[in-house]
C-alpha cells in the first residue's frame, strides 16, 4: 500500500510540475492565473466584509496572502510581443505606459503588504483594509484593462 501511495504522490507531483512548467512558458496564461487568484481572493474578502460570509481571520489572512504573492513580479508577465493572443483583457496602455502600470501594481503590492498582518485581527480591520486594496485594483483596471462583454 505504501508503494502505491508513493507512486500516486510521485505521479501527482509530476503532473503538477508539468502544468507549472507549461504555465511558466506562457506569460499570458501566467498573468491570467495571477488575476484569477487575486480576483478569487478579493471575492472572499469582499464577501466577509459585506457580511455575505462569516468573518474568518485565518481565511482573510490566506486570501490577502494570495493577493500579495500573486502581485509580486506581476508586471514581468507582460513582455513585448504578448500584447495580442490568447483571450486577454490587457490594454495596449500596459506597453505604452509601463512605468505607470508598474506603479499601479506596486500600489496593490504595498496595500496588500500593509493589510496582510492586520486582516486577521477582526472584521472592522478587514473592512478598513478593503478600501486601499480594492482601490488599488480599481485604479489599475481603469487604466490598464479592457473589459470584454
Query: Domains of the chain, with CATH numbers?
Result: 27-144 (1.20.120.10)
What CA–CA distance (Å, rounded) separates 97 from 7? 49
Alpha helices in 51-92 (DSSP H): 57-71
Average pLDDT for 117-129: 96
pLDDT at 24: 59
pLDDT at 11 over 80: no
pLDDT at 13 over 60: no
What CA–CA distance (Å, rounded) separates 86 from 26? 10
Interval 18-58: pLDDT, tens: 344 444 579 999 999 999 999 999 999 999 999 999 999 99
What CA–CA distance (Å, rounded) separates 35 from 37? 5
Closest CA to 59 of 70, 48, 72, 51: 48
Q: State the angle between helix axes of 57-71 and 98-115 in degrees (0 to 180), rounded to the nearest 10.
A: 160
Amino acid at each position: 500500500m505504501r508503494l502505491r501511495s508513493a507512486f500516486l504522490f510521485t505521479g501527482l507531483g509530476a503532473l503538477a510540475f508539468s502544468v507549472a512548467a507549461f504555465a511558466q512558458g506562457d506569460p499570458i496564461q501566467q498573468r491570467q492565473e495571477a488575476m484569477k487568484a487575486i480576483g478569487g481572493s478579493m471575492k472572499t474578502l469582499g464577501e466577509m466584509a459585506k457580511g455575505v460570509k462569516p468573518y474568518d481571520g485565518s481565511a482573510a489572512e490566506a486570501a490577502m496572502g494570495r493577493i500579495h504573492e500573486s502581485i509580486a513580479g506581476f508586471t514581468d508577465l507582460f513582455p513585448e510581443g504578448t500584447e495580442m493572443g490568447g483571450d486577454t483583457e490587457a490594454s495596449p496602455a500596459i506597453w505604452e505606459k509601463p512605468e505607470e502600470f508598474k506603479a499601479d501594481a506596486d500600489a496593490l503590492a504595498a496595500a496588500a503588504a500593509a493589510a496582510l498582518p492586520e486582516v486577521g485581527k477582526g472584521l472592522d480591520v478587514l473592512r478598513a483594509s478593503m478600501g486601499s486594496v480594492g482601490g488599488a485594483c480599481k485604479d489599475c483596471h481603469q487604466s490598464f484593462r479592457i473589459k470584454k462583454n
